[in-house]
Amino acid sequence: MAKRGGFPGGGMPGNMSNLMKQAQRMQRQMEESAKELETAEFTATAGGGAVEVTVTGKKEVTKVKLDPEQIKVIWIHDDNPIYDDNGFNWNSKNNIKNYYQTGGNLLLSRGALRYIVKDRWAISMDGRDPNNQFRSEDSQTVTEKPWGFSIEGISHEIFDGLVTEDNSNIYLINTGYHIFNWVFQWCIDWEPYWGIEGWRQQTGAIELGYDVSNHNAVPIAEFPSRQIGGNSSGKVICIGMAAYDWYDENQSDNQYRGNIEKLTSNALDYLSK
């Protein structure tokens, strides 16, 4: 009686056995290639060499080179409320710092003001970040009036073309706007500054605006170029007010959206010169 199933002698026919061996060999080769890929590095450039980035096969950035001669300004906006290093690959931290210290200009907005400290980008002369930082416990805050900042007694080209109301107020969001109320500002009458002159001298900054209801709070400032290690640093504009908000979860029609856009484009143009 003929046997059913299997192959004579319990083995595989020659062709099948060869296919299995080939598959195993290919698998080993793929594993070896994967290991080689993980240790390999790839470098790409953009902007005629203005930016050079090196990554590994694991997609980890190992090197970022920025040429301040070709990149006039970098804008960094951070809306991550958790104060950690996840917002940046901190191998890039020193590249931003070096870029700034050799003449590169920065526009920093919202949470990016945390990185002006000594152990990050060393922008503030006193090595500190803004001394008044907060976020509303209620993430559903809805504005009951327009929010913005005051430029009373202040003149700067980044305000050219912005709509002002009440003589010196620049509003950025209107009534009914859903906002997280995340603020980074300097309270200049608090320790360790005890006044505007103390704040200017210690930080090296210049105030560009005040809180509408409290002129002792500075939510927008400029750090002019200064000498660092024999080089002229770049300039830095910091915008830390809660009203600098690009997205309303209520999807309301923000009548002051044009001020946000114009302020941003003016700042970038100013820093690009």
Long-range CB contacts (< 8 A, 24+ apart) of 60-67? Answer: 60/89, 61/89, 61/91, 61/92, 62/91, 63/91, 64/91, 64/92, 64/95, 65/95, 66/95, 66/96, 66/98, 66/99, 66/104
Q: Are 126 and 113 in contact (CB under 8 A)?
A: no
Lowest-confidence region among 169-178, 230-239, 250-259, 262-271:
250-259
Q: Are 107 and 90 in contact (CB under 8 A)?
A: no
Q: What is the pLDDT of residues 46-105, one digit of tens each?
A: 777 777 778 777 767 677 777 777 889 999 998 876 655 554 554 566 788 989 999 999
Burial 140-167 (b: 16+ CB within 10 A, else e): eeebeebbbbbbeeeebebbeebeeeee
For residue 74, what are its two tokens? 């970098």
Q: Which residues does 241 contact at the CB level (< 8 Å), separation at least 6?
A: 147, 148, 149, 172, 183, 185, 209, 211, 219, 220
Provide the phi-psi class of 162: left if phi over 0, else alpha when psi is between -120 and 50, else beta: beta
What is the average pLDDT value for the chain, to the nearest integer?
85
Give the distance from CA 132 to its chain's centroid.
19
Helix (H, G, I), strand (E, B) or coil at 188: coil
Say whether pLDDT at 10 is over 60.
no
**Start-to-end C-alpha separation, the chain:** 94
Residues in the chain: 273
Say whether pLDDT at 122 is over 80.
yes
- Give whole-number Cα distances, 9 to 5, 13, 21, in Å: 12, 10, 19
pLDDT at position 7: 40
Give burial (CB, 10 Å; 0-12/13-18/19+) of 87. Answer: middle
Q: How far apart are CA 88 and CA 109, in angstroms?
A: 15
Q: What is the pLDDT of residues 184-220, one digit of tens each?
A: 999 999 999 999 999 999 999 999 999 999 999 999 9
Q: Higher-confidence residue: 250 or 239?
A: 239
For residue 43, what are its two tokens? 């470098």
* pTM for the structure as a whole: 0.78
Percent of the chain with pLDDT over 90: 53
User: Backbone phi, then psi, for 209, in 5-degree steps?
Assistant: 180, 165
- Give whole-number Cα distances, 243 to 43, 107, 214, 218, in Å: 39, 16, 15, 13
